[in-house]
A and B are shown apart, each in its own frame.
Chain A
Amino acid sequence: MTRKAYYARKIKRATQLLFYKRHMKPGVKGWELKNALGSDYPKILKVLDNHLEKLDLQVKTVFEGEEPAEKPTLEELNKARFYVTVRGGFPSRDAKMMGWRIDDIAGLATAISYIISKKGKAPRDEVEDLLRTKLPGWRVEMNMNRYIKSGYLGEDEHNQLYLDWRTRAEVDHKALVELLLLK
């Protein structure tokens, strides 16, 4: 098998693994990719990422805990989770096609940015009070449950909200806070 054919086959397999939902949560763990593609899977993902760039998509890596400051080790990559996400954001009107009302997105943006400013944890009551200033009460509770169910927010036993796996995969925290402060 030529080198080109080898990579073509591996990229096809990586695409199937990353695009199709296989577990309750989307995405694939690094060790699963290693088992399916071999130990050079980071290289294969890089090639796939280059292909996806033309479609404004990307292979997103979400590390366990803090993102490593330097080049991640293979062990860190094996424990990380990989997703395919949109690369450069999208017009807010397109969110409607994804089943999100403008209220829902604004509420999510508010909740996420408030939690970030509170060092990653904020009481649910405080976040709900903030949302109630712009949204009707019944919608606030409904939306909050939706954010939690989708994995954007998590809630602990002391009713503290935190940023859950989906926010870590989909939202650029730093850029969000910077954009808000610029307004």
Chain B
Amino acid sequence: MSTKEKKLNSERIQRVIELCNSVDERGVDPFAVDVDDIIATLQKYFHEWESPEELALDAKAVQCLASVIQNQGDWVKHRSTSLYTDPFLLEEKIQRLDKEELATLFAKVWNPIIEMEQLSIPRLAEALKYWRDLVPISERWQRDGPMHVEAGATTREELVRLKILAEKTFMEELETFWKELKQTVGEDEKILYWDFVGADTYQETLDRAYMTSFLVTYGYATLELHPLEEEVFIKSFTKLRSELVDKRMVSVPISVSFEEWMNWKEMRQ
């Protein structure tokens, strides 16, 4: 089959779809559609369709035809109900009646909805209060331009106060903490973890535990574990041993919970 013929047939199918759609969309009598004839046409062209687009068009036509058949069924059902009236008969009746008669007749079957819209005193009071508190529109809609600030110089102390800069850099703090560890350990070289980390407040204890973890990670100190005694010691190095940083592969989790801190405090007392 030539492309031209195929195009013509496809247009025919398109027209079938439009006719079927008009039943649904424009209220055309569903029996005005010759279903048998359309089925025969669809059957005739079906063998010619090859591309997915052509097959989709065919499927759409079948779907629209099914909708027409459903409409025919509904039409028959409606005709059999007591609500069915021949539109022409009804139109004729309407034409014969004058406006007054029609209105009187309708008033007999018309039961309007009763609805009330009424303000109550509490609602009115509420509205007044809202009005009193409402900021004038000139103020509400005022557009604030960007604040103009003169550029000026600031000091390091000011930046520290505003918490933009820390008082000491982290490494400075770590070095100070290491010195403290070395002093505390003295000649013993090692100290019980809790005896070093523990402080008067729980917050401070947490800070010290945090710093200690960095001392161990960066090679300023190491941990000595005695599993049987359930004891953990911190051993300070006299010199920084950064070569250990890459070798350390073991994580040692140490719980610093509030209960443990309380126990430590009691034992110390």
Contact = CB atoms under 8 A, between A and B. Distances in A.
Interface of A: 19-21, 26-27, 57-58, 60, 83-92, 94-95, 98, 102-103, 105-106, 108-110, 112-114, 116-119, 121-123, 130, 133-134, 158, 160, 166, 169-177, 179-181, 183
Nearest to A94: B107
B110 A21 contact: no
B99 to A, nearest CB: 4
Given A117-B85, A119-B74, A110 B114 contact: no
How many chain B residues sit at the interface, stated as a range, is 35 or more
Given A109-B103, A180-B85, 6 more contacts: A19-B116, A20-B118, A89-B110, A92-B106, A160-B27, A183-B93
Contacts of A121: 27
B111 A172 contact: yes
B105 interface: yes
B187 interface: no
B26 to A, nearest CB: 6
Given A114-B87, A117-B86, A179-B105, A86 B99 contact: no
Contacts of B78: 119
Contacts of A88: 111
B111 A113 contact: no
A21 B83 contact: no
Secondary structure class of chain B's binding surface, majority of residues: helix
B240 interface: no
A27 B89 CA distance: 36
14 contacts: A19-B116, A57-B114, A85-B111, A94-B107, A105-B106, A106-B99, A116-B83, A169-B113, A171-B106, A177-B90, A179-B108, A180-B93, A180-B97, A183-B101
B39 interface: no
Interface string B34-75: 000000000000000000000000000000000000000011
Nearest to B95: A133
A84 B113 contact: yes
Contacts of B117: 20-21
A166 B111 CA distance: 10
Contact of A87 (B26, B85, B111): B111
A122 B26 CA distance: 8
B25 interface: yes
B85 to A, nearest CB: 5
A180 B112 contact: no
Nearest to B117: A21
A26 B94 CA distance: 31
